[in-house]
Amino acid sequence: MTHHAPLGGRGISRRGLLAASTGIAATAVLSACGTNSGLSSSSSSSSVGKANLSQWYHEYGEDGVQAAVTKYAAAYPKASVSVKWTTGDYEKAVSAALLTQTVPDVFEYANGPTADMILAGEVLDLTDVLGSAKSQFNASIITPRIFRDKIWAIPQTIDMQMLYYRKSLFDKAGLQPPTTFAALVDAAAKLTTKDVGGFYAGSDSGVGVLGLLLLWAAGFNSISSDGKNVDFDDPAFYSALAAYKAFRDGTGLLRNASAEWYDAAPFINGEAAMQWTGLWALPKVKAALGDDFGVAAFPAIGSAGKPAVAAGAYGACVAAKGTDPDAAKAFVKWLWVDQEDDQVEFSTAFGTHIPAKPALAAKATPLASGAGAAAAKLVADNGHVPDIRWTTAIGTAYSSALTNIIVKGADPKTELAAVVSTAKTELAKLA
Amino acid sequence: MRQSRASTIGAYVVLGVLALVFLVPFYVMIRNAFSTSSWISSPTWHLLPNNWGSANFARLLANTNVGIIQALGVSAVIAVIQTVLTLLIAAMAGYALARLAPTGRGPMRRAGSVVLGLTLGTLMVPSTVTFIPSFVMVAGLGWISSFRGLIVPLLFSAFAVFLYRQYFTGFPVELEEAARLDGAGYWRTFWRVVMPNSIGITGAIGTITFIGAWNAFLWPLLIGQDRSYRTVQVALSTFMTSQGVDVPELFTGGLVAVIPVVLVFVVLQRFLVEGVERSGIG
Amino acid sequence: MQAQAVERSLTGERAVTSGRRRVVGGRTFWFWVFVAPFLAGLLTFVYVPIVWSGYLSLFDARNTVTPRPDQFVGFGNYVSLLTDKAFLTSLGTFMVFTVVIVPLTYAFSLGLALLLQRIRVARTFFRSVFFIPTAVSYVIAAMIWRLSLFNGARFGMVNTIVRSLGGTAVGWLSGDTPVYWVVLVSLRLWLQSGFYMILFIAGLNRIGQDMYEAAALDGATGWKLFRHITWPQLASTTAAIVLLLVISAFQAFDEFYNTLATIGGYPPFARPPLVYLYLISLGGGSQNLGLGSAGTMILTLVIVVFGVVQLVGTRRLEAKR
């Protein structure tokens, strides 16, 4: 008996404990933002002659967002846009809706549409919509999501993960914030006491959230430039993974805490000296610890490595089968390219996020100084967004391999060989 | 059945221990919902909650954005209608498969096995993927954001039919034959004699159906797109995945999800128990 | 009387009585009348999607339910799954899981039912206690198990007990050791045994007192009673319950997913075939319906084979008596 399903055999209750999708760290950055919303949605006025567009958002965790986006939509003069605030598993709801006759005209999607959505013709090319404004946007957010040389979504606002560290503990031990992985391991070991752990990244020892980050920090890309294979099948990466495994087996990594990695409570409560968590936690950390913390990128692993932070941005997409695609495109351009004040407000008035245009970060107070500014700089210099060609199948194979290597001590070369073969098949389909 | 004193006492002891173990998760839920986060994660286990006056409940109920009260109403309507209709449809089909399968030599002689096979077959197909074509189909019918879309596709439970069929198979023929001798047709026999004597199994299947309907998440999420069709599980997922929800609030949400069904169960319980007792006719 | 009862429960056919010729034609008619609502709904709302999925499984159907002819891949999806080591591993793991969990749940539920039969006072109370967990959704239950009971941190309840007995906190879900099976099996038993217990009670109650008394007169007690009276009388109940347990074991999803999944994904251990299928076809925003449907069909076939084997096996056991 499938107990959970109503006896018609349908309706699996698949609500995870956390918002939105899983599968790969790609959407991890965004999904941990949580859901919650402000006031109930209202449609903007509709008048004759104007196009009627529907715009879908997922349920943001912060209060006030829904009212804000409704306000933006209502202010658009050339069409009447009604905002739909979707609860629960947003990706599933949107992708199911895209299969029907009534599709959302404009919708946001984690890091823009998937390669499959593009290949199935569900979304429209927005390269012209972005046009010359492309240079104003953060390149590290846009470039990995280019598919078939076209841009398919306009980033709305950037979320990111980074390393938080306790300044006082570091100063007391005479340590500097780590720039190499060896330094991180060393610092974590030195700062571990009976009651305080060194480094915390989740109850799975960080394998989930740090998946892609490990390869970025080791200096690799996820997909090779010719798009036919993964980029990281390299002995340097094997040793990076071995180093992480050694870290896990050692004393510095805290394996369990009072909350998961996306909740800064362990860091705030002093359960760990360092925690990998997100920009969304910044207000809480600041409120609790004042100035006694700093942020940094994940340190470089190995000689070819480079510090890295994970970033992600919901991108506004236009459905191909919408009622009025041209009107929809115009609306997206208006809101997410032209309306800079709205963009700044959207990014910073409800929790801390980074505007997709780096120049706007300077206009935003929370990001003008201190940890906020440091975070903005980290994204600009070291930000990585998952490659659009990194499909779920590859991601699943990769995270399984990583768990086997780091938790079970399997041989990196053999495990990654399986990922390589999966990737080759998948990428061939995308070519 | 005669049995020794010792074995009865032994049974009580074992049952007592097991009952305690079975109640632990509920205790944990209550304890956590009414404690503070640090109380829960302290290294020593605190048996009792420390935040009885927790405003979490009141806050959750009053949260207009989550809309729990309305969602409770929607879920109740859906669960009740779905249960009643599913029971009716499944009882009839189960009875037919157990008692009315055509015999003889006509072309219909295998009809019973075929239908039974079709029924069992669907039990064996997981719906993880098939829900998408279902959804597209129901969307095509225009049933999004309607009670029809939320209820009708789920009324045809192979599971319930199977259970009813197994049950009716062992149903005492004498009762039906007595009714026949009194001149009742199949229809009358079924409704006047068979069903009234099948309260136990109906109670059991009805309870499971109700619970399943209440706890369903994916289908109501996809179909109930409009705010006014939101069920409790969907509304709760809003709450439980919102920003800054901590462990006590999570468990408060869990209690809200569970308490209504448990209450319904406790109320219907006597009905179910009596029925099960009574169905022991040799 | 006994033989008749057994025969009845096996075949479900009524004893033929005389004078029914007028009714036989009517019987077929009434069969269809009784079955019609269910059959109509089943074909429309259950079979159409299944057949549609079967159709999709032959295509490289990504983000579409109406694939183009050039997306036809024949059995390509099936081949890629059957050569996927991870998929085969999950199937293998869950065959073992089924072989373990089905007898375990069966025995536990039956044990509860039998124990309940022995007592008089507070029977209702105990029955409720064991049945109420059925009301809890898998998601909530997984939350309790994961966050509180079997939390790997020191303050997890089981860890607290372990520590008070002198041990160290165990990472129940970390994957270092196979102890996650304890978590998952206990979760499943808690959620499911109450329901099957009720089914057993219904089945046990159908065994007439006179049968037991007759056996008692022959001097049968305890285990002998169980083996020769109770057990055979439970035949049809057993068949139903075992089939349902097998199906439920293979279709495991929610309690596993909500217990073990993290935002980064799902670990490669204790990964049910359905969860794996979900991850590679429907997870993370993808919608590979061709692959997902193919996996569904393969899994259905496995369940059917197990189900048939089990039914045939049960029939053989019946025949022996």
Q: Is the dihedral of CA C261, C266, C267, C272 positive or negative?
A: positive
Contact C137 B269 (CB under 8 A): no
Write out chain A residues lying below 8 Å of C85, CB-based.
418
pLDDT digits (tens, 9 = 90+) for A265-285: 899 989 999 999 999 899 989
Asked if the model's pLDDT at residue B123 lies above 50, the reply is yes
CA atoms within 13 A on the CB side of C56: 30
- Nearest beta carbon to residue A96 from set B157, B222, B240: B222
CA distances from A386 to A27, A175, A399, C281 (A): 9, 32, 14, 19
Write out chain A residues lying below 8 Å of B225, CB-based.
84, 86, 93
Asked if the model's pLDDT at residue B83 lies above 50, the reply is yes
Write out chain B residues lying below 8 Å of A89, CB-based.
218, 221
Contact C138 A13 (CB under 8 A): yes
Asked if C173 has any chain A CB less than 8 Å from its own CB, the reply is: yes
Asked if the model's pLDDT at residue C144 lies above 90, the reply is yes
Asked if the model's pLDDT at residue C21 lies above 50, the reply is no
Asked if B52 has any chain C CB less than 8 Å from its own CB, the reply is: no
Rounded Cα gap, residues B132 and C181, in angstroms: 31
- Nearest beta carbon to residue B243 from set A34, A89, A269: A34
Write out chain A residues lying below 8 Å of B65, CB-based.
36-40
Q: Give the minimum alpha-carbon distance from A118 to chain B in angstroms, rounded to a whole number.
A: 19
Q: Is the dihedral of CA A65, A67, A69, A72 positive or negative?
A: negative
Among A1, A2, A4, A7, which would you mutate to test the B interface (most chain B Cβ atoms within 10 Å of its Cβ)? A7
**DSSP annotation string for B60-109:** HHH-TTTTHHHHHHHHHHHHHHHHHHHHHHHHHHHHHHHH----SSSGGG
If asked whether residues A413 and A300 sit together in one domain, one would say: yes
pLDDT digits (tens, 9 = 90+) for C71-113: 999 999 999 999 999 999 999 998 999 999 999 999 999 999 9
Does residue A19 sit within a domain?
A: no
Write out chain B residues lying below 8 Å of A283, CB-based.
none
Does residue A226 sit within a domain?
A: yes
Task: Give the B window 130-169 contacts with A, CB below 8 Å.
Answer: 130-132, 134-136, 139-140, 144, 153-160
> Once rounded to an integer, what is the mean pLDDT over residues B94-100?
91
Contact B165 C12 (CB under 8 A): yes
If asked whether residues A74 and A149 sit together in one domain, one would say: yes
Q: Do the beta carbons of residue B65 and residue A37 sit within 8 Å?
A: yes
List of residues 6+ apart from C246 with CB closer than 8 A = C98, C102, C303, C306, C307, C310
- Nearest beta carbon to residue C31 from set B96, B120, B273: B96
Asked if the model's pLDDT at residue B184 lies above 60, the reply is yes
Per-domain residue ranges of chain C:
76-320
Asked if C195 has any chain A CB less than 8 Å from its own CB, the reply is: yes
Q: Do the beta carbons of residue A310 and residue A280 sit within 8 Å?
A: no
| C47 vs C124: which has the higher pLDDT | C47
pLDDT score, position C11: 40
To the nearest whole number, what is the mean pLDDT of chain C? 84
Asked if the model's pLDDT at residue B278 lies above 80, the reply is no
Q: Give the minimum alpha-carbon distance from A194 to chain B in angstroms, rounded to a whole number.
A: 13
Contact A203 C174 (CB under 8 A): yes
If asked whether residues A98 and A37 sit together in one domain, one would say: yes
To the nearest whole number, what is the mean pLDDT of chain B? 85
pLDDT score, position B112: 87
Contact A15 B233 (CB under 8 A): yes
Contact A255 C174 (CB under 8 A): yes
Q: How many distinct structural domains can be found in chain A?
A: 2
Task: Give the A window 165-204 contacts with C, CB below 8 Å.
Answer: 202-204
Does residue A377 sit within a domain?
A: yes
> Cβ atoms within 10 A of the Cβ of B106, count?
12
pLDDT score, position C36: 94
Q: Give the minimum alpha-carbon distance from C176 to chain B in angstroms, rounded to a whole number.
A: 23
Q: Give the minimum alpha-carbon distance from A331 to chain C in angstroms, rounded to a whole number.
A: 24
Asked if the model's pLDDT at residue B264 lies above 90, the reply is no
DSSP designation for C262: B
pLDDT score, position C17: 44
Contact C240 B162 (CB under 8 A): yes
% residues pLDDT > 90 (chain B)? 29
Write out chain A residues lying below 8 Å of B220, CB-based.
11
CATH code, domain carrying A201: 3.40.190.10
Asked if the model's pLDDT at residue B279 lies above 60, the reply is no
Does residue A10 sit within a domain?
A: no
Domain extent for A263: 161-309+390-430
Asked if B183 has any chain C CB less than 8 Å from its own CB, the reply is: no
Does residue A18 sit within a domain?
A: no
If asked whether residues A153 and A191 sit together in one domain, one would say: no
Token pair of A426, please?
A: 């998948």
Longest CA span, chain C? 78
Residues paired with A274 in a beta bridge: A165, A199
**Which chain C residue has its CA at the smallest distance from A16's CA?**
C258
pLDDT score, position A367: 87
Contact C265 A22 (CB under 8 A): yes
Instruction: Count how many pairs of residues, chain A against chain C, have C-beta atoms within 8 Å.
Output: 189
Contact A211 C143 (CB under 8 A): no
Asked if B234 has any chain A CB less than 8 Å from its own CB, the reply is: yes
If asked whether residues A334 and A275 sit together in one domain, one would say: no
**Which chain A residue has its CA at the smallest distance from B125's CA?**
A9
If asked whether residues A242 and A283 sit together in one domain, one would say: yes
| C316 vs C301: which has the higher pLDDT | C301
> Given pLDDT bands bounded at 50, 70 and 90, which one contains residue B265?
confident
Asked if the model's pLDDT at residue B242 lies above 50, the reply is yes
Asked if the model's pLDDT at residue C50 lies above 70, the reply is yes
Asked if the model's pLDDT at residue C190 lies above 90, the reply is yes
Does residue A13 sit within a domain?
A: no
Asked if C168 has any chain A CB less than 8 Å from its own CB, the reply is: no
Asked if B92 has any chain C CB less than 8 Å from its own CB, the reply is: yes
- Nearest beta carbon to residue C283 from set A21, A122, A397: A21
pLDDT score, position B3: 61
Write out chain C residues lying below 8 Å of A196, CB-based.
none
pLDDT score, position B1: 47
What is the pTM assigned to this prediction? 0.86
Residue C59, classed as helix, strand or coil, is: strand
Return the HEC string of A242-266.
HHHHHHHHCCCEECCCCCCCCCCHH
Contact B247 A102 (CB under 8 A): no
Query: CA angle, corner C286, sides to C293 and A429, nearest 5?
Result: 80
Task: Give the B window 77-136 contacts with A, CB below 8 Å.
Answer: 82, 86, 90, 122-123, 125-128, 130-132, 134-136
pLDDT digits (tens, 9 = 90+) for C125-143: 898 899 899 889 888 999 9
Residues of chain A with pLDDT under 50: 1-28, 31-47
**Which chain B residue has its CA at the smallest distance from C138's CA?**
B215
If asked whether residues A420 and A302 sit together in one domain, one would say: yes
Does residue A41 sit within a domain?
A: yes
- Nearest beta carbon to residue C190 from set B25, B126, B152: B25
Which CATH superfamily, name and number, covers C76-320?
MetI-like (1.10.3720.10)
Asked if B95 has any chain C CB less than 8 Å from its own CB, the reply is: yes
Asked if the model's pLDDT at residue C207 lies above 80, the reply is no
If asked whether residues A343 and A424 sit together in one domain, one would say: no
Q: Give the minimum alpha-carbon distance from A314 to chain C in angstroms, rounded to a whole number.
A: 13
pLDDT score, position B201: 82
If asked whether residues A252 and A185 sit together in one domain, one would say: yes
Q: Give the minimum alpha-carbon distance from C229 to chain B in angstroms, rounded to a whole number.
A: 12
Asked if A326 has any chain C CB less than 8 Å from its own CB, the reply is: no
Element (H, E) at B140: helix B127-140
If asked whether residues A277 and A401 sit together in one domain, one would say: yes
If asked whether residues A227 and A187 sit together in one domain, one would say: yes
Q: Which of A168-172, C48-52, C256-260 has the lowest mean pLDDT?
A: C256-260
pLDDT score, position A4: 29
Contact A7 B140 (CB under 8 A): no
If asked whether residues A49 and A146 sit together in one domain, one would say: yes
Write out chain A residues lying below 8 Å of C152, CB-based.
203, 255-256
Asked if B167 has any chain C CB less than 8 Å from its own CB, the reply is: yes
Contact C169 A256 (CB under 8 A): yes
Token pair of C214, please?
A: 């007759």
Distance in Å from the first CA to the final CA of chain C: 15
pLDDT score, position A24: 36
Write out chain C residues lying below 8 Å of B110, CB-based.
none
Does residue A327 sit within a domain?
A: yes
Rounded Cα gap, residues A375 and A354, in angstroms: 8
Among A1, A84, A87, which would you mutate to test the B interface (most chain B Cβ atoms within 10 Å of its Cβ)? A87
What is the amino acid identity at position A179? T
pLDDT score, position C16: 43
